[in-house]
Structure 1
Amino acid sequence: MPAETATPSSTVPARAAWSAVIPRGHTLTITDLHGNQAVDFLVYDAKDTAVRYSAPDTLQAQGGIFLTTGSVLMSNEHTPLMTLTADAVGRHDTVGGACSKESNTLRYGHHTWTEHACVENFLAEGARWGLGKRDLVSNVNWYMNVPVEADGTLGIVDGLSAPGLSLSLRAEREVLVLVSNCPQVNNPCNGFDPTAVLMTVTGPET
């Protein structure tokens, strides 16, 4: 695994991937620069990537499917990885998953097969850290609005974010973060127009 940590601030272009090691106690702030941009997110223990984000453990610990201030991202060992310490949006998705070429084809037609997707971003960026397809798990979708309808189905609708809104995550141990700045253009999760986001890493409060 590369021995590198996050730079203080990085703009992630539309459709691009990003990754970094966040030291324990440091905070990662994600800013939606233009509004209505979904950010697919995975987190691993940087020293042992077999310990990674677990959606079932996180949902059980939170008692619900949406994340906001105070929510803790739990590992598959039911231990905390990161805590959502600030949230200007109020609700984020844990069940919608990451788009892929396969799911795009199934949902939107074979003509979408060549379109870039979040799974491809995760695979390419994860390979830099020795991660492969088996290391991909159900992810968090920051800013994505996936309401549960009365009949139990999931919707993907316009996001709740706006230009300049942000969220902050404190690392509870040294963690590896993978991000796909979602390239999806076939549903409203990015307002049909993917845009850039900003990643900012700050040290622990003194």
Structure 2
Amino acid sequence: YCVVPLSPALGLLQFVPGTRPLQAVLTDTPQRAEQEAQASEQYSLFIKAASLSEGPDQLQRTLQQLQLQRQQQQQHLHVHHHAMPAGPREFYQMYVNADAATTVRMFKQISSLLPPSLLRTTLLRSCGHTPELFLARRARLTSSLSAGCCWGWLAGAGDRHPGNLLLQPATGALVHIDFGYSFGSATQV
């Protein structure tokens, strides 16, 4: 695809036909979007609980207290608001306070809230369930993702998340977009 520079800090990306943001692919139904929101909320609660606790024993109690508070807030307000994402200080405290076994257990618990094969299902739908096409598209997906990750790491590009990746289901290719806060430009905002 072509990129047209408009200034040293701004450019236009050629329209890439037949693509969807990876985030939209992963949450393409209301049920999947809700599953992703629940997993994100549980993850944020775990980070906050780990940042507030002083060890693995206290972590489980703190997590249960935060979950109970969250349920009470939702019942009182009669609406479902998602937890605020954890900040850098909470992440740091989580790494200090949480042990590996607890973190792995929580990761597995939170991962179980999501369907196990979102990308596989998308690729299968786009290739008519033929094994040859599926394998070719999966290979293209992994090669374009790994090449983009290597390039991004070498170039120092940050701000990589599913909203900054376009998936072309017909080929399996991933296109990396939106480098607005990459290459040090975020320090100038």
Name the TM-score, length of structure 2 as normaliser.
0.28
Q: Which has the higher strand share?
A: 1
Q: Which has the higher contact order (CA 8 A, sep 6+)?
A: 1
Q: Which has the higher helix share?
A: 2
Q: Which has the larger radius of gyration?
A: 2
